[in-house]
Amino acid sequence: MTDDKVYRWIGSSPVRPDGIDKVTGHAAFGADRLLPGMLHGLILRSPHAHARILSIDTSAADRIPGVLAIVTGTDFPDVTAAMEETGESQIDVRDLARNVMARDKALYHGHAVAAVAATTTTIAEEALRAIKVEYEPLPAVLDIESAMAEDAPLLHEELRTKGLAEMPARGSNVAAVVTYTRGDPEAGFAASDVVIEREFSTPTVHQGYIEPHAVVAECRPDDQATVWCCTQGPFVVRTLTSKVLGWDVSSIKVIPSEIGGGFGGKTTIYLEPVAILLARKSGRPVKMVMSREEVFRATGPTSASRVRIKLGASRAGKILAAEAELKYEAGAFKGSPITPGCMCVLVAYDIDNFRITGYDVLVNKPKVAAYRAPGAPMAAFAMESMVDEMAHRLGLDPIRFRLDNAVREGSKAAYGPKFPPIGLVSCLEQAALHPHYQAPLGPNQGRGVAVGFWFNVGMQSTATLNVQEDGTATVVTASPDIGGSRASMALMAAETLGIAYERINAVVGDTEMAGYCDVTGGSRTTFATGMAVIQAARDVVDQMRRRAAKIWGIDPDQVTWRDGQAIPPAEHATEQSLPPLDFAALAKSAAKTGGSFVGRASLTAQGAGAGFGVHLCDVQVDPETGKVDVVRYTAIQDTGKAIHRAYVEGQMQGGAAQGIGWALNEAYVYDAHGIMENPAFLDYRMPVALDLPLIDTVIVEVPNPAHPYGVRGVGETPIVPPLAAVANAVFDAVGVRYCDLPLNPPRVLSGLLPAAG
């Protein structure tokens, strides 16, 4: 099923409105702002993974000439309120504040404990060395097993596990237990002909955006602050910063810079409140830019995981029962993506009997942040590996086996509701038919298939459309453009208005100039902000129809809008007295006919459409070294209507590449004390151009009924399948089922050796 409506602009791939700035170096990213008198701020970070902070003495640092401000935890209000409503949902402000600046305990190596602002970076570095912090080191918990052990040292003594039948009396490092059940799993396993069970693990990995976090803050004497920063959501920065500082939101203005990648990692805050306090203390603008090492040690990563899956199926190839146990590391504060992990783990299959249990586990590592389809890739790695193994055990083609068990419209999702129209079956069919799936394999090569899913989300968006007197229009939203969203906004506006794409500019506004938008994330921007843009464009069309009616002296209902023109009813047109008035003519005469046109729309988008994808991966394994090369890759995905085709393909390719990195090389390596040993791109090995083949894409467009043009969202699903697609391909190549990522040469080789011996 695809959408075959004919569009003039939607589905094309024009050059983006901000293109020239991006290829000439003019686009200003987070660290590119320079202000007169600007100070440089740096953060002092804990050298221990777990320690009580006994005292901080800043007096020596204070005396260094050129040091103009120092802040520590006590300069921040002691936020005690726990859960607070923010725009999007509830967040624990106390945890957020303590992650921004430690108060009594440092909870991971790299946790911020103090900050300085000085006239030069060199002086700021000297000041950091002069700050004396007295620590009482505490035993650190560094993995899921030791964190869950009976007598484990506790990160937060007061924390009680949520989700148990009764509130436990004792503290724990398990912040929450999540369960989903359906039917009778025991009976399902008893009825199965084949039952398999394995445990999988994935390491801590980072989003790896190339642009480090950066902020410039100014603070006026009346405590009005302006923050310029690279973020996925200026309004979210404003909300979170205001909560941490205890200020009103209206006293903080956030200007989003261009953003050099986020992938979820820039949906929260780290530096912003610190920079504001330093600016306030010093009376000067303060710039803070993280080093790459700080980015690794103190921001972003996503959970290391352990996932155990038990699967039962009939000889005929029907999955009859499943049991999944997921344990995700949250880092130093609760809140791993365990819930979406549990919701996603079995989501692609129609299974009558299952039990899913998830654990949110605290460890002395940085607090995890959202990362592209948070929680889904690790769950899919385990499940898709098991599905592959089951197909193999049953002697069935892996796509056929998946088709026989796949969810479709009307199937009950593992998390409850029945699916509206979805594209999993179409994607699987496309995969089976794709030349890639039929192509012969060479020696030491193998082919893997895996499915991925993401919900996609809606949330709040606002758009304004200003019509200029030369017949052009400017779309203003506060959704930062991370992957070409200005172009998709302009395309949807052009389509709705019926004017040329080139006549539309799309800009990203700040928290004073644009209406509220939630983050660019959750694959929501083209869907939700796009919906607002379409409504704002319809608002303009409506105003133009009424204006034309006024000019013609007829009833507005008689005026239709077609191809960018107001068209009078037939009886007037045939008299030739009323030629149509087009967009440009109406715009030009606006000043004389009642004022300019401004369209606006504000909404909470509902009905985000689930996105399924299927990836095909061919690898070649070097039996001598264990090195795995991805030699062919195809990503197939139901994106709903693709607005800007090339950027939709780009999301699919980029997600696949990130997932391949996760599968093959990326991992935080910790020493016994909880210190990350590879905080640099040299040793934290992300895919480079030479590591990847061209990535073929097939866009399946099952329209989302909730969006005017059928958009679902695209960005997150493509990172979900690659982990298992790669591992399944390696299995196909060498006959070894690897359950622990990454599949780097030493690991692959160690798996090959016993087989060879």
Partner 1 sequence: MVRVVLGNELRALAGGADELLLAATDTQALLAELRRRYPALADHVEHQSAIAIDGLIHQHPFAEPLAEHSEIHIIPRITAG
Partner 2 sequence: MTKQHVLTTINGEQTEFLCEPQQSLLGALREDLGLTGTKEGCGTGDCGACSVIVNGRLTCACLVLAVEADGQQIETIEGVAEPQALHPIQQQFLEHAALQCGICTPGLIMATKALLEKNPDPSEHEIRYWLSGNLCRCTGYDKIVRAVLAAAAQLRGAEA
Q: Which candidate, 501, 503, 502, 498, places its Cα nearest to that of 563? A: 498
Least separation in angstroms between CB 292 and ligand FES = 8
Which of 420, 556, 569, 623 binds partner 1 (CB under 8 A)? It is 420
Residues 6 or more apart whose Cβ sits within 8 Å of residue 364: 49, 50, 107, 108, 109, 140, 141, 142, 155, 332, 674
Which of 4, 24, 55, 85 binds partner 1 (CB under 8 A)? It is 85
Handedness of CA 146, 150, 152, 156 (dihedral sign): positive
Q: Does 332 bind partner 1 (CB under 8 A)?
A: no
Tokens of 630: 């991805």
Closer by beta carbon to partner 1, 300 or else 317: 300
Which of 452, 521, 661, 721 binds partner 1 (CB under 8 A)? It is 521
Report the partner that residue 688 touches, choosing among partner 1, partner 2, ligand FES, none (CB closer than 5 to 8 A by kind): partner 2
Helix axes 234-245, 93-100, angle to 10 degrees: 90
Report the partner that residue 658 touches, choosing among ligand FES, partner 1, partner 2, none (CB closer than 5 to 8 A by kind): partner 2
Least separation in angstroms between CB 29 and partner 1 = 21
One-letter amino acid for residue 134 of the chain: E
Closer by beta carbon to partner 2, 295 or else 399: 295
Q: Does 301 bind partner 1 (CB under 8 A)?
A: no
Q: Does 750 bind partner 1 (CB under 8 A)?
A: no
Q: 551: part of which helix (H) or strand (E)?
A: helix 530-552
d(CA 48, CA 55): 15
Q: Would residue 576 be called left, alpha or beta, if left means φ above 0 and alpha means ψ between -120 and 50 degrees?
A: left
Report the partner that residue 459 touches, choosing among partner 2, ligand FES, partner 1, none (CB closer than 5 to 8 A by kind): partner 1
Least separation in angstroms between CB 481 and ligand FES = 11
Burial readout 711-746 (b: 16 or more C-beta within 10 A, e: otherwise): bbbbbbbbbbbbbbbbbbbbbbbbebbbbebbbbbe
Q: Does 732 bind partner 1 (CB under 8 A)?
A: no
d(CA 175, CA 161): 5
Closer by beta carbon to partner 1, 336 or else 505: 336
Q: Does 354 bind partner 1 (CB under 8 A)?
A: no
Closer by beta carbon to partner 2, 462 or else 520: 520
Tokens of 522: 């959750």
Least separation in angstroms between CB 705 and partner 1 = 8
Closer by beta carbon to ligand FES, 73 or else 212: 212
Per CB under 6 A, residues contacting ligand FES are 210, 261
Least separation in angstroms between CB 723 and ligand FES = 21
Q: Does 167 bind partner 1 (CB under 8 A)?
A: no
Closer by beta carbon to partner 2, 204 or else 239: 204
Closer by beta carbon to ligand FES, 211 or else 518: 211
d(CA 424, CA 408): 7
Closer by beta carbon to partner 1, 250 or else 606: 606
Least separation in angstroms between CB 110 and partner 2 = 16
d(CA 321, CA 186): 8
* Alpha helices for 209-323 (secondary structure H): 234-245, 272-282, 292-298
Closer by beta carbon to partner 1, 420 or else 556: 420
Which of 147, 476, 540, 608 binds partner 1 (CB under 8 A)? It is 608
Q: Does 415 bind partner 1 (CB under 8 A)?
A: yes
Per CB under 8 A, residues contacting partner 2 are 13, 15-16, 18-20, 22-29, 31-32, 34, 120, 122, 207-212, 258-263, 289, 291-292, 482-484, 644, 646-647, 649-651, 653-658, 680-682, 686-690, 692, 694-695
Least separation in angstroms between CB 129 and partner 2 = 15
Least separation in angstroms between CB 611 and partner 1 = 12
Report the partner that residue 647 touches, choosing among partner 1, ligand FES, partner 2, none (CB closer than 5 to 8 A by kind): partner 2
- Burial (Cβ within 10 Å: 0-12, 13-18, ≥19) of residue 85: exposed
Cα torsion through 435, 438, 444, 447, rounded to 10: 80
Span interacting with partner 1, options 115-123, 367-375, 465-473, 689-697, rule CB under 8 A? 367-375
The answer to whether the CB of 648 falls within 8 A of the CB of 611 is no
Least separation in angstroms between CB 538 and partner 2 = 28
Q: Would residue 44 be called left, alpha or beta, if left means φ above 0 and alpha means ψ between -120 and 50 degrees?
A: beta
Closer by beta carbon to partner 2, 162 or else 685: 685
Tokens of 488: 């998709």
Closer by beta carbon to ligand FES, 153 or else 261: 261
Q: Does 343 bind partner 1 (CB under 8 A)?
A: yes
Q: 674: part of which helix (H) or strand (E)?
A: none
Which of helix, strand or coil describes residue 628? strand
Q: Which candidate, 485, 487, 493, 710, places its Cα nearest to that of 611? A: 710
CB atoms within 10 A of CB 87: 18
Note the Cα 532 to chain centre separation in Å: 21
Report the partner that residue 29 touches, choosing among partner 2, ligand FES, partner 1, none (CB closer than 5 to 8 A by kind): partner 2
Closer by beta carbon to partner 2, 428 or else 719: 719
Q: Does 416 bind partner 1 (CB under 8 A)?
A: yes
Q: Which candidate, 317, 303, 306, 318, places its Cα nearest to that of 369? A: 303
Least separation in angstroms between CB 646 and partner 2 = 4
Least separation in angstroms between CB 650 and ligand FES = 9
d(CA 725, CA 746): 20
Least separation in angstroms between CB 217 and partner 1 = 24
Which of 168, 594, 607, 735 binds partner 1 (CB under 8 A)? It is 607
Least separation in angstroms between CB 516 and ligand FES = 26
Span interacting with partner 1, options 598-606, 636-644, 732-740, 747-755, rule CB under 8 A? 598-606
Handedness of CA 734, 381, 523, 642 (dihedral sign): positive
Least separation in angstroms between CB 230 and partner 2 = 9
The answer to whether the CB of 77 falls within 8 A of the CB of 245 is yes
Least separation in angstroms between CB 671 and ligand FES = 25
Q: Which residues, 179 to 198, sit near partner 1 by CB under 8 A?
A: 179-181
The answer to whether the CB of 586 falls within 8 A of the CB of 446 is no
Q: Which residues, 708 to 727, sit near partner 1 by CB under 8 A?
A: 716
Least separation in angstroms between CB 212 and partner 2 = 7
How many residues bind partner 1 (CB under 8 A)? The answer is 48
CA distances to 61, 371, 410 from 438, in Å: 67, 33, 31
Q: Would residue 398 be called left, alpha or beta, if left means φ above 0 and alpha means ψ between -120 and 50 degrees?
A: alpha
Q: Does 1 bind partner 1 (CB under 8 A)?
A: no
d(CA 533, CA 514): 13
Least separation in angstroms between CB 686 and partner 2 = 6
Q: Which candidate, 607, 610, 614, places its Cα nearest to that of 699? A: 614
Which of 108, 228, 247, 419 binds partner 1 (CB under 8 A)? It is 419
Q: What is the DSSP string of 329-367?
A: EEETSS--THHHHHHHHTTTB--SSEEEEEEEEE-SSPP
Footprint of partner 1 (CB under 8 A)? 83, 85, 88-90, 163, 165, 178-181, 232, 263-264, 267, 337, 339-340, 343, 370-374, 415-420, 455, 457-460, 518-519, 521-522, 524, 604-608, 705-706, 716
